[in-house]
Amino acid sequence: MQIPTIGHREFSILSVLLDGGLRSMNDLREVLQVQWMSRASLTKNCTRLVRGGLIERRDALGRRRGRPCRIAVLSITPDGRQAWRETADFYSFLLGEFQSPPPSERFLSVGEVRGAAARLRRLPTPAEARRIARHATPAELLFWRILQQTQELRQAEICALSVPDVDPQARTVHVRGSRRRSLTAGPGLLNLLLQAIGERSAGLVLLREDGSAWTPRRFRRRWMLLRQKAGVPQIVVPRKSPTTKGLDYTQSR
């Protein structure tokens, strides 16, 4: 099933406009208070929908503080209705309970959407993994292999590992993040860590090709690019484990 092109908050805005009427920004803000959507977030998402041709913005006469003025009103377009329907079908497939509610009657929490989208994620097949590996640099490939070797380390913890944290004699990895602990490293993980360290005696274990540090955000960006170059679906993730965050189901812009 195709992953929607609009996010959860954009879907909520389209839901409010689905009745075909004109709504001002104040009307939207009042209805969407259940989403804890700030003024800045509402403006940003409405602008994105206008640019995408999913809603239309026009000026109208209104009143502000008792005085007549011009206000911006929004309405949904045919493309917006189609995008709303595709997203509603996606939620229906994942949750099994979302069946085209009336406008503004039901909004899904971000947690529900991320949890439902996470059910679709999967590891790459052997063929997909080979295609991804062909486009990866040695440093990227090493990070991915280390990520696959452990289910107990978060990406941020792997990025923060320093050379003294790896004890090859005791076969132990000391994690010094918010959850300080020591983990027993298996032969596969230990060999990969030692390969990453090389002859160094200090600094971070994992470094990029240019010698800079890895961060989870950098790896996610590189993974997205590698996945696109290899023609691999968006639901493919580098590692599926309890510590992996829910997949962002919206397409990057």
pLDDT category, 94, cuts 50, 70, 90?
A: low
Pull the structure tokens for residue 231: 């023609």
Residue 63: φ, ψ to 5°: -130, 140
Q: What is the pTM of this model?
A: 0.53
Neighbouring CB atoms inside 10 A of 141's CB total 15
Question: CATH number of the domain at 126-230, please?
Answer: 1.10.443.10
Handedness of CA 54, 59, 62, 67 (dihedral sign): positive
- Every domain range in the chain assigned CATH 1.10.443.10: 126-230
pLDDT at position 156 is 87
pLDDT category, 237, cuts 50, 70, 90?
A: confident
Neighbouring CB atoms inside 10 A of 62's CB total 14
Contacts of 77 (CB under 8 A, 6+ apart): 53, 54, 55, 56
- Every domain range in the chain assigned CATH 1.10.10.10: 8-118
Pull the structure tokens for residue 99: 């069946």
What percent of the chain has pLDDT above 70? Answer: 77
pLDDT at position 163 is 92
Neighbouring CB atoms inside 10 A of 87's CB total 24
Share in percent of the chain as helix, strand, coil (round to 5): 45, 15, 40
* C-alpha–C-alpha distance, residues 128 and 11, integer Å: 32
pLDDT at position 58 is 84
Q: Looking at the domain covering 8-118, what would its CATH class be?
A: mainly alpha
Give per-residue pLDDT as tens, 144-174.
988 888 777 888 888 989 999 999 888 889 8
Looking at mean pLDDT, say which of 28-37, 93-102, 109-118 comes out highest. Answer: 28-37
Give me the mean pLDDT over the 107-135 stretch: 72
